[in-house]
């Protein structure tokens, strides 16, 4: 397994620590999940050249993701 050193400003570290505490996990696990989510979203957008993803339920938008 490779190692990566990342520096975060205090606010980002606080957000990361808060997410880890809420989920009962570690900051590293939160980062792993974030990368996996980013990969999924990118795979759904990039092949079609789209920068917008709408998640629907019963023909109404539940979540809308716009990637600049």
Convert the pLDDT of each residue in 15-35 to its tens digit: 999 999 999 999 999 999 999
56: in domain: yes
5: in domain: no
53: containing domain: 10-66
32: in domain: yes
58: in domain: yes
Looking at per-residue pLDDT, the higher value among 42 and 13 belongs to 13
How far is CA 30 from each of CA 1, 3, 11, 12, 67, rounded to the nearest angstrom?
17, 16, 16, 12, 21
Looking at per-residue pLDDT, the higher value among 10 and 50 belongs to 10
42: in domain: yes
4: in domain: no
Mean pLDDT estimate for the chain:
85
Task: Count how many domains the chain has.
Answer: 1
């Amino acid at each position: 397994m490779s190692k990566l050193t990342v520096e975060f400003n205090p606010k980002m570290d606080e957000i990361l620590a808060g997410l880890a505490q809420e989920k009962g996990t570690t900051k590293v696990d939160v980062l792993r999940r974030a990368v996996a989510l980013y990969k999924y979203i990118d795979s759904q957008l990039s092949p079609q050249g789209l920068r917008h993803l709408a998640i629907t339920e019963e023909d109404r938008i539940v979540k809308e993701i716009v990637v600049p």
